[in-house]
Chains A and B, each alone.
Chain A
Amino acid sequence: MPPLLRFIILRFLSIPVTVLIITMILYAFVMITPPETRAQLYFSGKMPATIDSEERIQRYTEKIISTHHLRDPYPVQFLYWLGQLLDGQWGYSPILKENILPALIRRTPVTIELTLYSLLVFFPLGLITGMIAGWRKHERYDQRFRAAAFIASSIPMFILALVLLDIFYVAVYWFPPERLSIANSQLIISDEWRQITGLVTIDGLLNGQPDVSLDGLRHLVLPVVTLSLMQWATLGRIARVSVIDEAQKDYILAARAHGVNERGLLWGHTFRNILTPALNSTALSVAWLVTGVYVVEIIFNFNGISDVVVRGLLGTPDASSVLGFAIYNVILVCLVMFALDIIQVIVDPRLREGLIAK
């Protein structure tokens, strides 16, 4: 088997392991709550309509507790619950009034769109500025870069978002909040709209309505700027430190002795070599990126995945949506980390040929 394929298969197999570990831990915490609360995880959509008196509710809860073994020891309960999850029954959310898994899947494209555009902005920007700063270590550019990164990572995202909204929405009305304007958000849920990718900016073009794409882009500007600023600082610092480490290596010295100019040294020689540590660090901080994405979603009123839990917390909390949200996110993060690892192996020939282990 070629090393690349072997790596991909092995790496993919680690995803279920991660999800299993996390679900085990989460369910261990769920065990702290009384069985009546746990019974909520198995409530179905039909429940509120048929049950009115307290006695019947108790009977219903009792029935769930006995059929789903909710008084049994942890491993038994956990396995029954896991079976339910694998079966695709992630529970019913009384607030969303639907099953939680389809609700999560339906909201995913919104989150993906926001993340994707932010990635397109901050990844090249962070990499390039960080690399230049590391190459010109302690010069004026580097000092400015570090100061800017310090400030960018210390600014509260929510205040930045409000200040941007204040200037670019209220004052000049260039970039409004939310995902689309009212007319277009009506349009994309109507029958005329063919949903292909779920990303409005791309679907708009595919539907032959570029104005919808444009509207989507306009609404994306402020959230993307807010999200990118912080991620730029993080990635930029990683790139900077990686370049400083790399610049001390012998091959740079050799290339310099051969007469390669500074620009060639940085972009021709160092660049390829810092991609691996940069991608590696990015993969490790994907979970933080996801958290940042949700914060921006909440502030700008994008109804992405975070919508599921935010609504839950405002009204009566429901256990299924919170637990479903957690597990769904772990799977998402695992997939992104997997993708980044694969890119890393493809980019780095040493890893690709299996010469060094990752």
Chain B
Amino acid sequence: MKENSRRQITRRTSLLAFLITGIFIAVAIAAPILTPPDPESADPAYKLVRGNYGNQPVPPGDVFPLGAIPAGFRQYLDIYHSLIWGTRSALQFGILVVFFSASLGIFIGAASSYLGGWLNATVMRVTDAFLAFPIIAGVVFFEEIYISIVSPGVINLYQFEEPTLSPIQELLARIDPLLVTLIFFSWMAYARLMNSQVLRIRETAFVEAARALGASPWRLIFRHLVPNSVSPAIVLAARDVGAIVLFQATMAFIGLSSSSPWGVSLAAGRKWIIGPGGNMLRYWWVFFPITIAIILFGIGWNLMGDNLHDWLNPHKDT
């Protein structure tokens, strides 16, 4: 009886996980249909509408389905547009970061534990060193490097010539610094996970058999060790998508990044979130829809992680 009700709950949450993430993915794909980008805008994620609607946030209506925030002289930022295109950007960002950091971590963890010995000890020492690095320090650090490459005139107050960039600099200048930071500083959890998993199965009979049959180290790692130990990393990756998007929005809100339309729009409406006299419902449309989207995004991917966990480890009961 108890077991039965548990199954039902699992089924319900898994349905919920697919529903939430499915809606987000559908919205992300259909973004250009739901709200066509502004041809004049440099970034399709934002739509600025000219007009005169006063100095206060414009309530939802015919022109703006979810209202708008004043942004500059007689310009209004469409919240509905930011919400829809923000979904697209968030999904892209989250999946990109998780894909690269997980691949990096899985590769490092698996390869080093396969090789073992002092090499593994060294690699794990470096991994632990990375764990001691707060990601916010990485964000400001990369931002700084990025600025100094893209516009040395700003950082180097006394030099204003056009910079000539080396290939590495050129590449870095084109990528979002937050993306680089997050990939560079979030692979450690995957590496540690893979490391402990691979160490456990390295000496098992099937690996021994494959080695005896003459499998190359690469084949051993990618065909035998990784597929048999990757499931916890996949669970972690699903949960990370939500966490990374939340972090991206947070960094955008405090002004350390500009890559999240959700975060940027919330920051634009910051002074109206605290409404007059402490009535935050006065301009609810400024923050409510986007906040709900962020929370649902996080919950959806977290549930997805739980789902994958149950699915990949049917015997383990947590």
Q: Are A and B subunits of one complex?
A: yes
Q: Is the CB of B295 within 8 A of A316?
A: no
Give the shortest distance, in Å, between A213 (CB) and chain B (any CB). Answer: 27
Q: Which of B111-119, B122-130, B213-221 contacts A (4 or more CB under 8 A)?
A: B122-130
Rounded to whole Å, the gap between the CB of A152 and the closest CB of chain B is 10
B interface residues, how many (CB within 8 angstroms): 67
Question: With a CB–CB cut-off of 8 A, which chain A residues contact B277?
Answer: 170-171
Q: List chain B residues, Cβ under 8 A from A21.
A: 125-126, 129
**For chains A and B in complex, what number of residue pairs have CB atoms within 8 angstroms?**
184
Interfacial chain B residues near A326, Cβ < 8 Å: 133, 137-138, 140-141
Enumerate B231-245 residues with CB–CB distance to A below 8 Å: 242-243
Instruction: Indicate if B56 sits at the interface (CB-CB under 8 A).
Output: no
Is A261 interfacial (CB-CB < 8 Å)? no
Contacts of A165 in B (CB 8 A): 274
Contacts A166-B275, A166-B278 hold; do A329 and B158 have CB atoms under 8 A apart?
no
> When the two chains form the complex, which single residue of A33, A306, A334, A337 contacts B136, counting CB atoms closer than 8 Å?
A306
State whether the Cβ of B302 lies closer than 8 Å to any Cβ in chain A: yes
Proximity string of chain B (132-147) to chain A, C-beta cutoff 8 Å, 1 when within and 0 when not = 1111111011111101
Surface stretch bound by B, among A185-193, A287-295, A343-351: A287-295
Is A265 interfacial (CB 8 A cutoff)? no
On whether the beta carbons of B135 and A291 are closer than 8 Å, the reply is yes
Which residue of the partner chain A has the closest CB to B242? Answer: A154
Interface presence of A96 (CB below 8 A): no
CB distance from B17 to the nearest CB of A (A): 11
Which of A18, A37, A61, A159 makes the CB contact (< 8 A) with B291?
A159
Assembled-state Cα–Cα distance A150/B13 (Å) = 12
- Identify which of B36-44, B66-74, B80-88, B247-255 touches chain A: B247-255
**A144 within 8 Å of B (CB atoms):** no
B125 (CB) vs chain A CBs: closest residue: A17
* In the bound complex, CA of A306 to CA of B148 (Å): 21
Residues of A within 8 A of B125 (CB): 14, 17, 21
Distance in angstroms between the alpha carbons of A18 and B122 in the assembled complex: 11
Identify which of A57, A156, A172 gathers the most chain B CB atoms within 10 Å of its CB. A156
Q: B169 on the interface (CB 8 Å rule)? A: yes
How many A residues face the partner with a CB closer than 8 A? Answer: 70
**Hey, what's the 0/1 contact readout for B289-318 against A, CB within 8 Å counting as 1?**
001001111110011000000000000011
Closest beta carbon of chain A to B291's beta carbon, Å: 5
Contacts of A17 in B (CB 8 A): 125, 129
Q: Which of B170-225 contact A (CB under 8 A)?
A: 172
B132 touches A22 (CB 8 A): yes
CB-CB nearest in chain B for A335: B132
Let me know if B157 is at the binding interface, CB within 8 A: yes
Which of B132, B158, B273, B318 meets A330, CB within 8 Å?
A: B132
A326 smallest CB distance to B (angstroms): 4
Is B298 a contact partner of A159 (Cβ separation < 8 A)?
no
- In the assembled complex, the Cα of A166 lies from the Cα of B275 at a distance in Å of 8
Contact between B137 and A325 (Cβ–Cβ < 8 Å)? yes
Q: Judging by beta carbons under 8 Å apart, are A158 and B250 in contact?
A: yes
Contact between A167 and B253, CB atoms less than 8 A apart: no
Establish whether residues B131 and A284, one from each chain, have CB atoms under 8 Å apart when the complex forms.
yes
Residues of B within 8 A of A220 (CB): none
Chain B residue with the shortest CB-CB distance to A334: B132
Q: How far is the CB of B271 from chain A (nearest CB, A)?
A: 10
Q: B59 in the interface, Cβ–Cβ < 8 Å?
A: no
- Judging by beta carbons under 8 Å apart, are A171 and B291 in contact? no
Q: Which of A153-176 contact B (CB under 8 A)?
A: 153-159, 162-163, 165-167, 169-172
> Which partner residue on chain B sits nearest A323 by CB separation?
B141
Q: Does A195 contact B (CB under 8 A)?
A: no
Asked if B149 lies at the interface with its beta carbon under 8 angstroms from chain A, I say yes
Q: Evaluate contact between A37 and B155: CB separation under 8 angstroms.
A: yes
Given contacts A322-B144, A334-B132, contact A150 B254 (CB under 8 A): no
Name the A residues within 8 Å of B136 (CB-CB): 290-291, 294-295, 306
Q: A154-B298, A154-B302 are in contact. Are A33 and B137 (CB under 8 A)?
A: no
Considering the chains assembled together, what is the distance between the CA atoms of A58 and B161 in angstroms? Answer: 13
A153/B298 in contact, CB under 8 A: yes
**Distance, CA A61 to CA B243, complexed state (A):** 43
B-chain residues with CB within 8 Å of residue A314 when the two chains form the complex: 255
Residues of B contacting A319 with CB < 8 Å?
Answer: 144, 148, 155
Q: Which residue of A lies closest to B158 (CB)?
A: A57
Contact string against B for A residues 203-231, beta-carbon threshold 8 Å, 1 for contact and 0 otherwise: 00000000000000000000000000000
Give A244 to B302 CA distance when docked, in angstroms.
19
A26 CA / B185 CA spacing, docked (Å): 12
Please tell me if the beta carbons of B131 and A287 are within 8 angstroms of each other in the complex: yes
22 pairs of residues in contact across A and B, judged by CB atoms under 8 Å:
A22-B129, A22-B130, A29-B142, A32-B149, A37-B156, A150-B298, A153-B302, A154-B298, A156-B291, A167-B280, A171-B279, A172-B278, A284-B131, A287-B132, A288-B134, A294-B136, A299-B254, A326-B133, A326-B140, A329-B137, A330-B132, A330-B137
Q: Which A residues contact B (CB, under 8 angstroms)?
A: 14, 17-18, 21-22, 26, 29-30, 32-34, 36-37, 40, 54, 57-58, 61, 137-138, 143, 150-151, 153-159, 162-163, 165-167, 169-172, 241, 244-245, 284, 286-288, 290-291, 294-295, 298-299, 306, 309-310, 312-314, 316-317, 319, 322-323, 325-326, 329-330, 333-334, 337
Chain B residues within 8 Å of A, Cβ to Cβ: 2, 6, 9, 125-126, 128-138, 140-145, 147-149, 152, 154-159, 163, 166, 168-169, 172, 242-243, 246, 249-250, 253-256, 266, 270, 273-275, 277-280, 287, 291, 294-299, 302-303, 317-318
- Given known contacts A245-B318, A291-B134, A317-B143, what 16 new A-B pairs fall within 8 Å (CB)? A32-B168, A40-B156, A154-B294, A154-B299, A158-B266, A162-B270, A166-B274, A166-B280, A167-B280, A286-B132, A290-B134, A313-B140, A317-B147, A319-B144, A322-B143, A334-B132
